C-alpha cells in the first residue's frame, strides 16, 4: 500500500464522490428552511442554487485546467509561494474541520431527535467519526469504491419517496409559479446553497481522475445536475405533501412526510429512510476528512496521521459545539466565511493565475 | 503489503551442505546411506553379485512396490551382460546422483536405489506405490446437476483431473517443496496466457518466502499467504471440485495444491465468487439467476436478521404495525431474558448442535436432531425461556448462512452476526447501519494480490462485468475473460451460437 496516495479514480467514481458529499444532512431540513422565505416557490430556489453552483464549478474547472494534475492545495502553493500558500492551506484545513464538526453536530442532533433520545452524544460522535475515520484514512480509490457501492441506496431512497404519493397531494400548494417574487426566491436559494455544499471537493479530487482531463467539467456538471434534481424532487414532494403552514412548523419535513405512512407489514417508513440516510451523512464526513488531509499533505503516511488527528479534532469540536445552546450565530458565521473560501478565493486564485507566472515546480508539502 | 521475513530467499536444498556418496567399498557405501536414513529398519538392502561386481539394491519397504523392483531392476541386472549401470537399467524418470541429500529425497519418494561398488554415482529408479482414495464427489460441495468428481489426496491425481478438463498447452504447473520437516509437495497451477504475469510472480514470491516447519494442509498455506489475517472474510477459496477449480483457472486465477489435501486453494478471489456454484452454470440461466439472487438475499439475512429483530423489539417497536406488534410482544411478555441475551443463547445453542452433529456417526447424529428440534425448539418456547419469534428468526438466520455454496463463508457470516446483534442492542437501527457500513467499507478496503475483493463493485468496470454477479446471464451474452488489457473482453455472442431464426 505504498505510493498509492495519488491512486487514480475513474470518472464514474468522481461523479459519485461529488454526489455523495453534496447529498447529506442538509436535505432533510431544507424544505422547511426555504419555506420561511420562498414559500411556494421553494423548488425554484433549489434550481437557482444549482445554477449558481454550476457557475462556481466553471470557475473551478478553469482553475484546475490551468494546473493539470494538481489539486487546490498544490495550486495555492505554486501560485502564492511556499509560506503564504501553506498559510492559506492551513486556513482551508481549519474550515474543512469546522464544517465536518458542524455537520457531525447536526447529524448527532438529528439522530438524538429521531432515533436515540437517551444515548449520550459523545457515544454517537465516537461511532460516526470512528466509522468515517476507518474509511477516510485509506486512499481515495477505496473511498470511491465504497461511495459507488453506497450510491445504490439512492435508488432505494427514491423508491421509498414514491410512497408519499399515496398521501393526499396538493399541487395547488406550489401554484401559482413565482408567487413570492424574486427576492424571496433568491433568499431561499441562499439557504439551499449552504445545504448543497460539498461540490468543492472536486477541487481536490479532479486532480486524481485518470484518463484525459477534458471530461472533468462534464462529470462535475452532471453531478451538479443530478444533485439539483434530487434536491428539487425532495423539496417538491414536501411542498405538495405538506401544507405551507405545517411545512414551517416541522424541522425535518422530508422525514415527516414519511412518518404518516402505514402499511400492513411495517409502519414508520421515516425510521427506515433515516437508517439508510445515515450512510450519505457519514459519507459527507468522510469526504471532508479526506480533503482536510489532502489540503495539507500529499504523501500517504503523513496523510493517514493527519486524518487521524483531524478526526480527533472533529470529535472535540463536535462535542464542544453540541454543548452550545444555540448554534445559529456560529453557523451563520461559519457559512458566510466558508462561502468566501470556496467562492471568492478560487476566483481570486484564477485571476492571480493570469497575472503570475506559476512556479513550475509544485512543491510537495 | 506482505510481511516477508527474509528479504532474499535461498532455496532450502542449497542451505544443506551436499554430502557425496564415497566411491568405496560397497559395505561402507551402504552404511553411509543407512546412516543418512537414521538406520531405519524399513530401508531394505539386497546385495547382488553379478559379473564379478557387487551391487546393492535399496528401497524403503513401505513406499516402494516390490513387483516393480523385481521387473525393472533385478531382472535386467541379472540378465544383462556387463555394462554401465545406466545402460542396463532403463526407466522413465530414472535418475543418477551421488548427492546423499538427493538420494535420501528420492528414497523417500519411493524410488529404488542401486549402487555399484567403487562408484559414486548411484542409480535411482521410480518404484513408488500409490494408494489413493478413489475419486468421489466432495461431501461439502455437492451439486444437483453437473460432474460428480472431486479432488483426492494425491497431487498427481488432482493434476490429472485438471489436465483432463483443460486440454490446453497454456496450463502451467510449478512445483515447490514447503515445510522444512515435512517436505510437502506443493503445486501452483495457472493458465499461462490468461493469468496476469505480475500476479503469478507475486504468488511465487510469497510461496518462496514461506518458512514453515510443517505444512499439513492448504489451510496452513492459506494462513501464510493471506494479506489480512484480521479480516473475518476468507480471502482465498478452498474447493474440492475440479470443475470449479478449472473454471477459476480460465478466469486467470491461480490454484495451489498441497500433497495430502483434497482441497485446492484458489487465489485471488472476490466476494461474489463465494456466491457462485457450478449448479448455476449447469442449469438454464433463469434458474441459475434465481438461485444467485436467493443466495445474495441470504447474505443480508444471515448478518442482519437477528439484529433487525433485536433493534425492532427493543428500540423501534413503532416500526411494526399494531397487528404484528401484538403477536410479537405477546410472545415476549413472559420471557425473562432481554432480546440480545435471548439471541446470543439461541445462536450458541445452534452452534453447539451443529458442532455436535457434524462429527458424529449418522445414527447418533439423528438423536441430536431430535434433541435439537424437539427439546430445544419446542420445550424452550413452552418453558417461556425464549420467544417464538426469536426461534423463527434464529432458524431463518442459520438456514440463510448455510445457503452459501462455500461453507467456510457461511461461518464467517454467522460470526459477523454477533457484533451486529450487539450494536443493534446498544444503538438500534443506527447501530445496524454503522456496523453494516463498517462491513462494507472493510469489503471495499480488502485487496488480495492487488485485486479488489469486492470487484466488480470495487473499481466500477462498467456493466459488462455485472453479467455474472447478481444474475447469471446466458453464456452467449457474457464475455470471454482475459486479463491482458490489450486483448480486452471478447464477447462470446453471435458466432458462438446458432443463429436464431
In a domain, B133, yes or no: no
Residue of chain B minimizing CA distance to A135: B441
Mean model confidence pLDDT for chain A:
83
Please indicate, yes or no, whether residues B190 and B332 belong to a single structural domain of this protein: no
Rounded to whole angstroms, the Cα distance separating B51 from B82 reads 6
- Tell me the pLDDT tens digit for each residue of B74-116: 888 888 776 677 777 777 788 888 888 888 888 888 888 888 8
Q: How many CB atoms lie within 10 A of CB B51?
A: 10
DSSP state of B465: G
Rounded to whole angstroms, the Cα distance separating A81 from A9 reads 29
Considering B96, B126, B156, which residue would you say is the last residue of a domain? Answer: B126
Q: What are phi and psi of A225, to 5 degrees?
A: -60, -45
In a domain, B474, yes or no: no
Give yes or no for residue A349 having a pLDDT over 90: no
Please indicate, yes or no, whether residues B367 and B436 belong to a single structural domain of this protein: yes
In a domain, B420, yes or no: yes
- Tell me the pLDDT tens digit for each residue of B470-491: 777 777 666 555 444 444 444 4
Lowest mean pLDDT among A133-147, A252-266, A295-309, B299-313: A252-266
- Tell me the pLDDT tens digit for each residue of A150-175: 888 888 888 888 888 877 777 777 77
A119 at B interface, C-beta within 8 A: yes
pLDDT-derived band of residue B228, with 50, 70 and 90 as boundaries? confident
Q: Which candidate from B321, B434, B437 shows the least CB-CB separation from A262?
A: B321
Please indicate, yes or no, whether residues B263 and B219 belong to a single structural domain of this protein: yes
Task: Show the 3-state SS of A223-287.
Answer: HHHHHHHHHHHHHHHHHHHCCHHHHHHCCCHHHHHHHCCECCCCECHHHHHHHHHHHHHHHHHHH
In a domain, B35, yes or no: yes
Partner-chain contact B319 A266, CB within 8 Å:
yes
Q: Which residues of A touch B451 (CB under 8 A)?
A: none
Q: What pLDDT does residue B479 have? A: 58
DSSP state of B131: -
- Tell me the pLDDT tens digit for each residue of A93-113: 999 999 899 889 988 988 888
In a domain, B495, yes or no: no
Rounded to whole angstroms, the Cα distance separating B440 from B438 reads 5
Considering B101, B126, B151, which residue would you say is the last residue of a domain? Answer: B126
Q: What pLDDT does residue A6 have? A: 58
- Tell me the pLDDT tens digit for each residue of A18-52: 888 888 888 888 888 887 777 777 788 888 888 98
Q: Which residues of A touch B271 (CB under 8 A)?
A: none
Q: Which candidate from A141, A142, A278 shows the least CB-CB separation from B433?
A: A278
- Tell me the pLDDT tens digit for each residue of A65-98: 887 777 888 888 888 888 888 888 899 899 999 9
- Tell me the pLDDT tens digit for each residue of B391-419: 889 889 989 988 888 888 888 888 999 99
Residue of chain B minimizing CA distance to A119: B427
Q: Which residues of B touch A264 (CB under 8 A)?
A: 321, 323
Q: Per the structure block, which three cell numbers stand in for B112?
A: 529404488
pLDDT-derived band of residue B268, with 50, 70 and 90 as boundaries? confident
Residue of chain A minimizing CA distance to B456: A145
**What is the arithmetic mean of pLDDT over A57-61?**
88
Window B:307-326, CB contacts with A under 8 Å: 315-316, 318-321, 323-324
**How close A38 comes to chain B (CA, Å)?**
34
Helix ranges (DSSP H) in chain A: 11-22, 26-38, 42-66, 72-80, 82-114, 121-136, 140-162, 182-195, 202-205, 216-241, 244-249, 253-259, 269-296, 300-323, 328-339, 345-355
Partner-chain contact B441 A267, CB within 8 Å:
no
Maximum distance among all alpha carbons in chain A?
68
Q: What are phi and psi of B401, to 5 degrees?
A: -75, -20
Q: Which residues of A touch B437 (CB under 8 A)?
A: 131, 150, 278-279, 282
pLDDT-derived band of residue A308, with 50, 70 and 90 as boundaries? very high
Give yes or no for residue B7 having a pLDDT over 50: no
In a domain, B255, yes or no: yes
Window A:232-271, CB contacts with B under 8 Å: 262-268, 271
Q: What pLDDT does residue B250 have? A: 84
**What is the arithmetic mean of pLDDT over B191-211?**
88
**How close B456 comes to chain A (CA, Å)?**
10
Please indicate, yes or no, whether residues B240 and B315 belong to a single structural domain of this protein: no
Please name the helix (run of DSSP H) or strand (run of DSSP E) that holds residue B472, with its range, or none. Answer: none
The domain total for chain B is 3
Q: Per the structure block, which three cell numbers stand in for A131?
A: 466509522
Please indicate, yes or no, whether residues B307 and B364 belong to a single structural domain of this protein: yes
DSSP 3-state of B116 = strand
Domains and CATH numbers, chain A: 11-355 (1.20.1740.10)
- Tell me the pLDDT tens digit for each residue of A211-238: 666 677 888 889 999 999 998 898 888 8
Q: Which residues of B touch A146 (CB under 8 A)?
A: 440-441, 444
A111 at B interface, C-beta within 8 A: yes
Residue of B3, B271, B441 best to disrupt the A interface, most CBs of A under 10 A:
B441
Please indicate, yes or no, whether residues B182 and B264 belong to a single structural domain of this protein: yes
Question: Per-residue DSSP letters for A14-44?
Answer: HHHHHHHHHSSTHHHHHHHHHHHHHGGGHHH
Partner-chain contact A148 B454, CB within 8 Å:
no
Residue of B2, B428, B444, B450 best to disrupt the A interface, most CBs of A under 10 A:
B444
Please indicate, yes or no, whether residues B22 and B114 belong to a single structural domain of this protein: yes
In a domain, B246, yes or no: yes
Please indicate, yes or no, whether residues B121 and B204 belong to a single structural domain of this protein: no
Lowest mean pLDDT among A119-128, B99-108, B376-385: B376-385
Please indicate, yes or no, whether residues B444 and B305 belong to a single structural domain of this protein: yes
**How close B459 comes to chain A (CA, Å)?**
6
Long-range contacts from B328-334, C-beta under 8 angstroms, 24+ separation: B328/B387, B328/B389, B331/B387, B331/B388, B331/B389, B332/B387, B332/B389, B334/B384
Please indicate, yes or no, whether residues B48 and B161 belong to a single structural domain of this protein: no
Q: How many CB pairs under 8 A join A and B?
A: 89
**What is the arithmetic mean of pLDDT over A293-314?**
88
Please indicate, yes or no, whether residues B116 and B228 belong to a single structural domain of this protein: no
Give yes or no for residue B49 having a pLDDT over 90: no
Q: What pLDDT does residue B127 have? A: 87
**What is the arithmetic mean of pLDDT over A256-268?**
79
Partner-chain contact A275 B433, CB within 8 Å:
yes
Please indicate, yes or no, whether residues B222 and B160 belong to a single structural domain of this protein: yes
Q: How many CB atoms lie within 10 A of CB A14?
A: 26
Name residue, grid cell 510443517.
Answer: B214
Give yes or no for residue B468 having a pLDDT over 80: no
**What is the arithmetic mean of pLDDT over B157-161?**
92
In a domain, B443, yes or no: yes
Residue-number span of the structural domain to which B153 is assigned:
139-269
> Listing from the earlier edge strand, what are the strands of the sheet with B43-50?
B43-50, B53-60, B111-116, B122-126, B95-97
Amino acid at each position: 500500500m505504498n505510493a498509492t496516495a495519488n491512486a487514480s479514480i475513474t470518472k464514474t467514481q468522481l461523479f459519485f464522490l461529488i454526489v455523495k458529499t453534496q447529498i447529506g444532512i442538509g436535505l432533510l431540513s431544507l424544505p422547511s428552511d426555504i419555506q420561511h422565505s420562498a414559500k411556494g416557490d421553494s423548488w425554484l430556489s433549489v434550481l437557482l442554487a444549482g445554477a449558481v453552483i454550476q457557475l462556481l464549478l466553471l470557475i473551478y474547472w478553469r482553475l484546475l485546467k490551468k494546473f493539470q494534475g494538481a489539486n487546490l492545495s498544490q495550486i495555492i502553493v505554486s501560485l502564492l509561494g511556499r509560506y503564504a500558500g501553506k498559510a492559506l492551506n492551513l486556513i482551508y484545513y481549519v474550515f474543512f474541520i469546522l464544517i465536518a464538526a458542524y455537520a457531525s453536530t447536526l447529524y448527532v442532533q438529528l439522530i438524538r431527535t429521531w432515533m436515540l433520545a437517551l444515548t449520550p452524544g459523545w457515544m454517537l460522535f465516537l461511532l460516526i467519526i470512528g466509522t468515517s475515520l476507518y474509511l477516510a484514512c485509506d486512499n481515495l480509490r477505496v473511498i470511491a469504491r465504497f461511495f459507488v457501492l453506497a450510491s445504490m441506496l439512492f435508488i432505494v431512497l427514491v423508491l421509498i419517496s414514491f410512497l408519499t404519493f399515496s398521501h393526499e397531494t396538493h399541487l395547488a400548494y406550489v401554484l401559482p409559479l413565482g408567487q413570492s417574487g424574486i427576492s424571496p426566491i433568491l433568499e431561499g436559494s441562499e439557504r439551499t446553497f449552504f445545504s448543497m455544499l460539498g461540490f468543492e471537493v472536486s477541487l481536490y479530487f479532479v486532480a486524481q481522475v485518470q484518463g484525459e482531463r477534458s471530461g472533468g467539467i462534464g462529470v462535475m456538471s452532471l453531478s451538479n445536475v443530478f444533485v439539483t434534481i434530487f434536491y428539487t424532487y425532495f423539496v417538491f414532494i414536501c411542498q405538495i405533501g405538506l401544507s405551507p403552514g405545517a411545512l414551517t412548523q416541522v424541522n425535518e419535513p422530508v422525514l415527516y412526510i414519511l412518518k404518516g405512512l402505514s402499511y400492513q407489514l411495517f409502519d414508520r417508513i421515516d425510521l427506515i429512510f433515516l437508517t439508510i440516510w445515515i450512510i450519505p451523512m457519514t459519507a459527507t464526513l468522510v469526504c471532508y476528512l479526506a480533503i482536510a488531509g489532502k489540503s495539507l499533505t500529499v504523501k500517504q503516511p503523513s496523510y493517514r496521521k493527519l486524518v487521524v488527528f483531524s478526526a480527533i479534532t472533529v470529535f472535540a469540536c463536535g462535542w464542544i459545539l453540541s454543548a452550545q445552546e444555540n448554534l445559529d450565530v456560529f453557523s451563520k458565521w461559519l457559512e458566510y466565511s466558508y462561502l468566501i473560501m470556496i467562492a471568492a478565493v478560487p476566483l481570486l486564485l484564477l485571476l492571480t493565475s493570469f497575472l503570475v507566472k506559476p512556479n513550475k515546480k509544485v512543491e510537495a508539502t | 503489503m506482505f510481511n516477508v521475513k527474509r528479504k532474499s530467499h535461498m532455496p532450502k536444498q542449497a542451505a544443506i551442505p551436499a554430502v557425496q556418496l564415497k566411491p568405496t567399498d560397497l559395505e561402507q557405501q551402504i552404511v553411509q546411506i543407512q546412516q543418512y536414513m537414521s538406520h531405519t529398519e524399513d530401508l531394505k538392502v539386497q546385495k547382488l553379485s553379478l559379473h564379478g561386481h557387487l551391487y546393492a539394491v535399496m528401497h524403503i519397504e513401505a513406499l516402494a512396490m516390490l513387483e516393480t523392483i523385481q521387473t525393472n531392476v533385478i531382472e535386467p541386472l541379472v540378465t544383462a551382460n556387463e555394462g554401465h549401470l545406466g545402460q542396463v537399467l532403463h526407466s522413465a524418470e530414472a535418475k543418477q546422483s551421488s548427492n546423499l541429500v538427493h538420494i535420501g529425497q528420492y528414497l523417500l519418494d519411493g524410488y529404488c536405489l542401486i549402487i555399484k561398488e567403487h562408484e559414486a554415482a548411484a542409480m535411482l529408479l521410480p518404484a513408488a506405490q500409490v494408494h489413493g482414495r478413489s475419486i468421489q464427489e466432495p461431501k461439502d460441495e455437492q451439486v444437483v446437476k453437473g460432474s460428480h468428481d472431486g479432488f483426492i489426496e494425491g497431487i498427481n491425481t488432482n493434476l490429472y483431473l485438471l489436465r483432463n478438463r483443460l486440454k490446453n498447452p497454456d496450463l502451467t504447473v510449478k512445483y515447490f517443496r514447503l515445510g522444512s520437516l515435512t517436505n510437502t509437495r506443493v503445486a501452483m497451477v495457472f493458465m499461462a496466457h490468461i493469468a496476469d504475469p505480475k500476479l503469478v510472480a507475486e504468488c511465487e514470491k510469497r510461496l518462496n518466502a514461506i518458512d514453515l516447519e510443517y505444512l499439513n494442509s492448504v489451510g496452513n498455506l492459506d494462513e501464510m499467504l493471506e494479506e489480512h489475517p484480521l479480516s473475518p472474510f476468507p480471502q482465498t477459496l478452498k474447493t474440492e471440485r475440479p470443475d470449479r477449480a478449472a473454471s477459476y483457472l480460465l478466469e486467470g486465477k491461480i490454484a495451489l495444491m498441497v500433497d495430502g489435501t483434497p482441497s485446492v486453494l484458489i487465489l485471488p478471489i472476490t466476494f461474489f465468487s463465494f456466491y457462485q456454484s457450478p449448479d448455476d452454470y449447469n442449469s438454464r440461466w433463469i434458474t441459475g439467476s434465481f438461485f444467485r439472487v436467493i443466495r445474495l438475499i441470504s447474505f443480508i439475512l444471515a448478518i442482519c436478521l437477528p439484529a433487525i429483530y433485536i433493534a425492532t423489539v427493543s428500540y423501534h417497536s413503532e416500526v411494526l404495525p399494531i397487528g404484528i406488534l401484538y403477536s410479537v410482544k405477546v410472545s415476549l411478555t413472559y420471557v425473562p431474558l432481554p432480546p440480545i441475551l435471548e439471541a446470543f443463547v439461541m445462536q450458541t445453542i445452534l452452534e453447539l448442535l451443529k458442532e455436535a452433529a457434524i462429527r458424529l456417526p449418522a445414527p447418533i447424529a439423528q438423536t441430536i436432531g431430535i434433541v435439537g428440534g424437539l427439546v430445544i425448539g419446542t420445550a424452550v418456547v413452552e418453558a417461556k425461556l425464549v420467544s417464538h419469534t426469536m426461534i423463527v428468526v434464529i432458524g431463518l438466520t442459520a438456514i440463510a448462512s448455510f445457503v452459501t455454496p462455500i461453507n467456510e463463508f457461511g461461518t464467517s457470516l454467522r460470526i459477523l452476526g454477533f457484533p451486529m446483534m450487539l450494536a443493534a442492542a446498544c444503538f438500534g437501527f443506527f447501530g445496524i447501519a454503522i456496523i453494516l457500513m463498517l462491513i462494507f467499507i472493510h469489503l471495499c478496503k480488502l485487496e488480495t494480490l492487488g485485486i479488489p475483493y469486492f470487484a466488480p463493485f470495487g473499481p466500477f468496470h462498467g456493466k459488462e462485468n455485472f453479467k455474472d454477479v447478481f444474475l447469471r446471464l446466458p453464456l452467449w451474452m457474457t464475455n470471454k475473460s482475459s486479463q491482458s488489457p490489450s486483448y480486452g473482453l471478447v464477447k462470446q455472442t453471435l458466432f458462438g451460437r446458432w443463429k436464431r431464426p
